[in-house]
Structure 1
Amino acid sequence: MSLGERRIQARKQPRQVRAELTRQRILTAAAHVFGEHGYAAGTTNRIAERAGISIGSLYQYFPNKDSILAELLVRHLDEGAAATERIQRAELPGSIEEIFRVFVRGAIETHLGDPQLLRLLMEQAPRSAELLEKVARLKQSLVSYVEELFETHPEVRVADIATAARLVVTTTELVVHQLVADHEPMDPGRLENEMVAMLTRYVTG
């Protein structure tokens, strides 16, 4: 483990309910502080004050704000993974257009909560090797699911299904992240409609 990775690892992995609640309170407070003040001004003192705990208590869980931001990124990834799993377990509509609508809407809704924090996570959150591996696993799992869907759906006419699945997943991820977190964010309804139309034309044309 490198020095940089040690800097962004949480200190205490809470085993008791009270400790876990404190940890979550710190993360929630940090999300608000980073969203309101930005990363540079989002000090650990401000986070501790917002969480209603002492700075010493905060440092029992996180050594610095880099580690807090890294943990917020992990939480964001976990929420996205959980939302994707729920969609995959549900019964999908019949048309490929409506299937894309389900996935695009889910991706947008997952990222609407705090665009400022999302932008900060995209631009400044530290990424350890373990975190990058987690991102790669999540993406590969989704690509495999979409590839299997394309192979069996009668409306899909692309010749190279494997490449198409990677393009659809990557395009959706990048566009939603970029336009939801933009300084002038796009209207979610318009973004959904245009993304669905674009993806549908691509795989059925």
Structure 2
Amino acid sequence: MTSADRRLTPRRKPRQVRAELTRERILTAAAHVFAEYGYAAGTTNRIAEQARMSIGSLYQYFPNKDAILAELLVRHIDRGAWTGADGLDLTPGSLKDAVQSLVRDAIDHHRDDPQLLRIMIEEAPVSSDLLEAIDRHGRARVGQVREVFARHPDVRVQDLDMAVELVVGTVEMNTHKLMATPHPNQVERLETELVAMITRYLHGDR
């Protein structure tokens, strides 16, 4: 483990329910503090105060705020599964609905706190856990999307594997970019145009 990884590694991995609850309390408090004060002013003292614990107790779990932010981003990424994939209609003519489900799911996953999302994107340090989570989430989401597209009769792309990579990357990149700085009506416009673009592409329209 490199010195950078050690700096970003939580000090205590919860093994008991009480420890896990304490860790969650710290992460919840940190999300609130970062969203309210920004990252620079979101100190560990403020996080400890928000979590109603001593700074010494906080340091038993995380060595610094960089490690806390890195853990918040790992948790955010790991919660990003396509929740509606199993209930889709895969009959002819339903491709637009399937694509809309994918896009809307990504938007909803990033809707809660734009300020925190922006901080996570701009400030979160890269740790081995984060890289692992990105890879794990990427493989899981690509697998989900590939399974749906492979079974849909209206998907007519020549290279399904590459098409899935392109679709997932396009949805993730544009959703992150817009939801970090949302403006009135832009979210609906993003959904409409992404769905139209991806549906035409999957239909094989040129």
- Judge same fold: TM > 0.5, yes or no: yes
Q: Bigger shift: 190-199 or 66-75?
A: 190-199
Which residue does 1:159 correspond to in 2? 158
CA RMSD, Structure 1 to Structure 2 (Å)? 1.6
Residue identity in the other structure for 1:189: E
Structure 2 SS opposite 1:41:
coil
Asked whether the equivalents of residues 78 and 133 of structure 2 are also in contact (C-alpha less than 8 Å), the reply is: no
CA positional deviation for 1:185:
7.0
Which residue does 1:91 correspond to in 2? 87
Which residue does 1:13 correspond to in 2? 13
Matched-pair identity in %: 57
Aligned positions of 1:1-205 closer than 5 A: 1-81=1-81, 84=82, 86-88=83-85, 90-94=86-90, 95-182=94-181, 184=183, 187-204=186-203, 205=205
Residue identity in the other structure for 2:27: L
CA positional deviation for 1:193:
1.7
Residue identity in the other structure for 2:62: F
CA positional deviation for 1:14:
2.0
Residue identity in the other structure for 2:84: I
* C-alpha distance in structure 2 between counterparts of 1:78 and 1:180, whole Å: 18
Q: What do residues 81-101 of structure 1 show as CA deviations (whole Å, max 9, x unaligned)?
A: 3xx2x333x221231100011
CA positional deviation for 1:141:
2.7
* C-alpha distance in structure 1 between counterparts of 2:2 and 2:184, whole Å: 37
* C-alpha distance in structure 1 between counterparts of 2:103 and 2:157, whole Å: 20
Change (3 A) 1:74 1:185: farther
CA positional deviation for 1:123:
1.3
CA positional deviation for 1:142:
2.1
CA positional deviation for 1:77:
1.1
Asked whether the equivalents of residues 179 and 185 of structure 1 are also in contact (C-alpha less than 8 Å), the reply is: no
Change (3 A) 1:20 1:165: same
TM-score (norm 1): 0.91
Structure 2 SS opposite 1:163:
helix
Please, which runs of 5 or more residues in structure 1 have no aligned partner?
none
* C-alpha distance in structure 1 between counterparts of 2:49 and 2:29, whole Å: 9
Structure 1 SS opposite 2:125:
coil
* C-alpha distance in structure 1 between counterparts of 2:168 and 2:191, whole Å: 15
Residue identity in the other structure for 1:170: G
Change (3 A) 1:185 1:23: farther
Q: Bigger shift: 185-194 or 66-75?
A: 185-194
TM-score (norm 2): 0.91
Residue identity in the other structure for 2:29: A
* C-alpha distance in structure 2 between counterparts of 1:115 and 1:54, whole Å: 29
Instruction: Identify the structure with the greater helix proportion.
Output: 1
Count of residues paired in the alignment? 201
